[in-house]
């Protein structure tokens, strides 16, 4: 007997920040499609000149390439350039999803600010970089969650929100103040929204990835430092985007329907040894 997750066939999901080839957003979008969802995928519209070398070599086309993967699975895909930190853009994203695909059932808040310029001790941190990280990571999650929840409450229909955070929101290491604060804020936002929206059948959960091998971490050499990071993970391997995607799909399914308000670590056991 084959055990399958149910409740996703014909649903419509929005996954933000899903255009990178080696990422978390792309596999979330693809695995939701594999489970039966039609998927709206957003990106920032970055120019090809800004793509990592491996994406350029592969002829990668950002959200259009992810849309092609989704369509190859027999599902509908809608690639849209959108700014999650812009209130009007977010409201238009929800409206366009409903207009083009007929409904909205799932929101995955995955978009995140670029890593690097914010990685300073607080006393040296440029306030502009602080605001940028908070605006994209935390405010963007708030704005899209609010827009989706308003849509569902107006129709008196259930919905599911998944926020992609990080174990960094719980560890809060040195040099990560903006990032860690934004991710900890997402945990609190998700819990508060779950309490408010639960009576409407709207579930809100947060997934906290550990060290996942994506292009976001390409500033860490894949030699000694990478091996050092691997050794702090009890399962002794770095995560891949699919590890996070599988948790997201489960939380959106019928089988995850009694889970809300949680901030779930998917980290190979990293936080168990702290």
In a domain, 71, yes or no: yes
Residue 183 lies in a domain: yes
Backbone phi and psi for residue 25, each to the nearest 5 degrees, phi listed first: -65, -45
Distance CA 126, CA 149 (A): 34
pTM over 0.75: yes
Counting the structural domains of the chain, the total is 1
- The residue annotated as part of the active site, out of 3, 51, 179, 250, is 179
Within 10 angstroms of residue 116's Cβ, the number of other Cβ atoms is 9
Amino acid 226: pLDDT: 77
pLDDT of residue 137: 97
Domain harbouring 80, CATH code: 3.40.50.720
The DSSP string of 78-94 is EEEE--TT-HHHHHHHH
Pairing of strands 77-81, 202-209: unpaired
pLDDT at 136: 96
Q: Please indicate, yes or no, if residue 108 is contained in any of the structural domains.
A: yes
Q: Within a domain: residue 4?
A: no
Q: Give the pLDDT of residue 32.
A: 98
Q: Do the domain assignments include residue 2?
A: no
Report if residue 3 sits inside a domain.
no
Tell me what pLDDT residue 272 has. Answer: 80
Q: Is 179 a catalytic residue?
A: yes
Q: What is the rounded CA–CA span in Å between residue 184 and residue 45?
A: 28
Domain span including residue 97: 12-273
For each successive 10 residues of the chain (274 residues), what is the average pLDDT?
87 97 97 98 93 93 97 98 97 98 98 85 93 97 98 98 96 91 98 98 97 83 80 91 98 98 96 72
């Amino acid at each position: 007997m084959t055990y399958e997750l149910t409740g996703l066939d014909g649903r419509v999901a929005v996954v933000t920040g899903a255009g990178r080839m080696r990422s978390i957003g792309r596999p979330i979008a693809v695995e939701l499609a594999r489970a039966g969802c039609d998927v709206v995928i957003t990106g920032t519209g970055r120019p090809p000149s800004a793509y990592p070398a491996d994406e350029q070599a592969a002829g990668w086309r950002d959200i259009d390439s992810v849309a092609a993967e989704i369509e190859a699975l027999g599902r509908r895909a809608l690639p849209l350039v959108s700014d999650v930190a812009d209130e009007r853009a977010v409201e238009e994203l929800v409206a366009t999803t409903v207009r083009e695909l007929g409904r909205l059932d799932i929101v995955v808040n995955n978009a995140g600010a670029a890593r690097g310029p914010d990685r300073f001790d607080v006393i040296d941190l440029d306030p502009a970089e602080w605001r940028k990280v908070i605006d994209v990571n935390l405010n963007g999650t708030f704005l899209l969650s609010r827009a989706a929840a308003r849509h569902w409450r107006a129709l008196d229909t259930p919905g599911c929100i998944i926020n992609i955070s990080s174990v960094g929101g719980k560890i809060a290491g040195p040099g990560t103040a903006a990032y860690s604060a934004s991710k900890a804020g997402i945990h609190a936002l998700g819990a508060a929204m779950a309490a408010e929206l639960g009576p409407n059948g709207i579930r809100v959960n947060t997934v906290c990835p550990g060290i996942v091998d994506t292009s976001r971490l390409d500033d860490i050499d894949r030699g000694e430092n990478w091996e050092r990071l691997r050794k702090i993970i009890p399962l002794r391997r770095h995560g891949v985007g699919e590890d996070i995607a599988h948790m997201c799909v489960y939380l959106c399914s019928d089988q995850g329907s009694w889970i809300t308000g949680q901030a779930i670590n998917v980290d190979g056991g990293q936080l168990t040894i702290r």
